[in-house]
Amino acid sequence: MQQKINELLLSMYEEHQASLRVLAKSYGVPDKDVDDVVQETFIAYFGHYSLEWTPGRKKAMLVRILKNRCVDYHRKSRNMDTISINSEEFIEDCKIASRYRVETSFDKIYENETLEEIQRVIKGMSKDLQEAAILHLIEGRPQKEVCEILGISSDACRARISRARKVLRKELGREGKTT
C-alpha cells in the first residue's frame, strides 16, 4: 500500500513540478524561492487532498494552492506594516492582488471599476474604515489578522469591514447589488 502511495506521489510531482515552477515565477516569486514555494504546494496537497482524483482535478488544486502560496510569499516578504493609499506601492499591490484573482467582494468591484475610483472612495472613509479596507479587502489579510494588527475585537473588525464594503458599493454605484 505504501509503495503505491509513494509511486503516486512521485509521478504527480514529476508531472506537475516544472509547470508549477514556471507559474510561481510568473507570479513574481524570485528564482531563489521558487523551489520552496513549489515544495510547500505539494506538501499542502499531500496533507489535505486525495491522490485518487482525476489528473485535471489534481492539477487545478495544485494551481490553486500555488497561487495561495505565492500570495503568502509576497505578504511575508513585505517589510512594511502599512502603506499610504497615495503611494505607488498601493497601486502595485492592487495590481499584484488582481493577478492572483482571490475571490473576494473587493475583486468583484475591482473588475468593473478603475483603481482611481476605488482609491478615491477609500480616501473618503474614516481612518478606521480605511485601515480595515486596506488590510482586508486590498491586502487580503484574514479578519483575525486584521483584528490583531488594529488591536480591535472580532466584532468591531467585522463591522468595520462590512461598513467599508457598504461605502464602496454605495459610492461605486452598486447599491442593492450583492458582492
104 burial level (CB within 10 Å; 0-12, 13-18, 19+): middle
Mean per-residue pLDDT for 18-30? Answer: 89
pLDDT digit string (tens) for 38-94? 999 998 888 888 888 888 888 888 989 999 898 888 888 764 445 555 556 666 666
> Residue 123 above 90 pLDDT?
no
Going from the C-alpha of 14 to that of each of 5, 10, 21, 57, 68, the distances in angstroms are 14, 6, 12, 16, 21
| Residue 119 near residue 47 (C-beta atoms within 8 A) | no
Residues 65, 172: Cα–Cα separation, whole Å: 32
pLDDT in the model for residue 114? 53
The pLDDT of residue 140 is above 90: no
- Please check the confidence at residue 107 and state whether its pLDDT lies above 60: no
Instruction: Indicate the helix (H) or strand (E) that contains 151.
Output: none
Residue 36: predicted pLDDT: 92
At 98 the pLDDT is: 54
As a residue count, the chain comes to 179
d(CA 150, CA 88): 23
Residue predicted with more confidence, 80 or 143: 143
**pLDDT at residue 97, as a whole number:** 56
**Does the pLDDT of residue 1 top 60, yes or no?**
yes
Is the predicted pLDDT of residue 6 greater than 60, yes or no? yes
CA 140 to chain centre: 5
Give the whole-angstrom CA distance, residue 44 versus residue 66. Answer: 9
DSSP per-residue codes, 95-121: HHHHHHT--SHHHHHHHHS-HHHHHHH
